[in-house]
Amino acid sequence: MRELIDKAKVIALELKQAAEKVVTIKEVDDLRVQFMGREGCLTLLIKELKDLDSLAKREVGPVLNQIRVDATEIFRRLKEDIEKREAEAANMREKGFDVSAYQPKGRPDGTRHIYSKFIEDIEDIFMSMGFSIFDGPEVETDFYNFQALNIPQNHPARDMQDTFWFEKDKKLLRTHTSNVQIHAMQKYGVPIAGVCTGRVYRYEATDATHDCMFTQCEGLLVDKNVSISQLLGTVKKFLQRLFDSKKLKIRVRPGFFPFVEPGLEVDMSCVFCKDGCSVCKKTTWIELMGAGLVHPNVLRAVKVDPEVYSGFAFGVGIERLAMLRYGIDDIRLFHSGRVKFLQQF
């Protein structure tokens, strides 16, 4: 009698363990036959009941019955779970995403794109300096991309940024991330400090150093009494950390960007040489980014009083930075999706 109860408990345990491994309906059916079919181990055990005397039957009977009820419930639940999962998978397949797609042998797992990682590095540096991360639309209106940034209709600066226009509704693909300055100031007000990294578009031919789509990182800080020295300190600290060089220096030249006054071109000392190389074209300086103090008209466009507030802004091409940091000479490689190229990182 004892022996029968022990056997029943072993069978119940085996069923529980086997149930954890089944994946398909067929496997559930097979398992059911194995345990509860005509020759199933549980069925055979129950048959042994009839050879017991009535006292033993009264003791063993309920134990075996409970195991049978539990087993039935296990099979019902297994089937239900599998059917639900298969329905979900079928639904996904209909939507064009095949969850049953197998991975061909020998094909390595994917990793994060070097580009995403690089952008995160940049954002980390700025966040550690107290900047927030902003985001904004890539499809933009004339107001946010041009007018609010002190680039009115017929302004010559519009020629510098040949633009992709949508025929419908007069929208455009943003030509710079500066549009986010306007959105951010409207949304959060001033004082404000943030950076935005994102894709921008220019209607131009592509070559090794130009692409019609590239990524820009834009920084903006508006507060009371903001000065050029704060701008230069921020930019220098950022570059020193990005290129991991405390010796890195910057220099500025006058530059023209409609949304800053004065406007500056920022160069950094070449991180590859001391006295001239091919990267710096033998000058020991590398042209890098545009910057300046926020133009009063930009502040006025978002109803901030330029008599009270001032600010600085800078913009830099991420591809350009990445080309320098990783020693890559063709900008198009970043967006080519070439596995051989990406595997180097």
Does 277 interact with Zn ion (rule: CB under 5 A)?
yes
Q: Does 273 engage in binding with Zn ion (CB under 5 A)?
A: yes
Among 115, 164, 272, 285, which residue sits at the site for Zn ion (rule: CB under 5 A)?
272
Quick check: 268 binds Zn ion (CB under 5 A)?
no
Distance CA 184, CA 178 (A): 10
Region of 220-228, 241-249, 268-276, 311-319 interacting with Zn ion (CB under 5 A): 268-276
Note whether 270 binds Zn ion by CB under 5 A. yes
- Report in angstroms the alpha-carbon separations of 300 from 146, 154, 182, 186: 14, 20, 11, 11
User: Does residue 208 interact with Zn ion by CB under 5 A?
Assistant: no
In the complex, what is the shortest distance from the CB of residue 324 to Zn ion, in angstroms, rounded to a whole number?
A: 10
Q: Quick one: 256 or 285, whose CB is closer to Zn ion?
A: 285
Nearer to Zn ion, 252 or 286 (CB): 286
Distance of alpha carbon 221 from alpha carbon 311, whole angstroms: 5
Grouping H, G, I as helix, E, B as strand and the rest as coil, residue 197 is strand
Task: Kindly determine how many residues on this chain lie close enough to bind Zn ion according to the rule CB under 5 A.
Answer: 6
- As measured in angstroms, the least distance from the Cβ of 314 to Zn ion is 22
CA distance 278 to 322: 17
Q: What are phi and psi of 336, to 5 degrees?
A: -80, -25
Q: Helix H segments across 129-227?
A: 142-145, 157-160, 179-188
CA–CA separation, 213 and 241 (whole Å): 26
Stretch that binds Zn ion, among 59-67, 162-170, 266-274, 296-304 (CB under 5 A): 266-274
Figure out which of the listed residues 280, 288, 313, 318 binds Zn ion, where binding follows CB under 5 A: 280
Q: How far is the CB of 267 from Zn ion (least distance, A)?
A: 12
CB distance 142 to 170 below 8 Å: yes
Which amino acid would we find at residue 208?
A
Rounded (5°) CA angle 262-254-142: 55
Q: Please, which residue, 74 or 270, has the CB nearer to Zn ion?
A: 270
Smallest gap from residue 327 Cβ to Zn ion (A): 12
Quote the least distance from Cβ 278 to Zn ion, whole Å.
7
The least distance separating Zn ion from the CB of residue 236, rounded to whole angstroms, comes to 18
Q: Which is nearer to Zn ion, 110 or 327 (CB)?
A: 327
25-36 and 54-94 helices cross at what angle (nearest 10)?
170
Spatial distance between the Cα atoms of 129 and 308, rounded to a whole number of angstroms: 24
- Residues near Zn ion (CB under 5 A): 270, 272-273, 277, 279-280
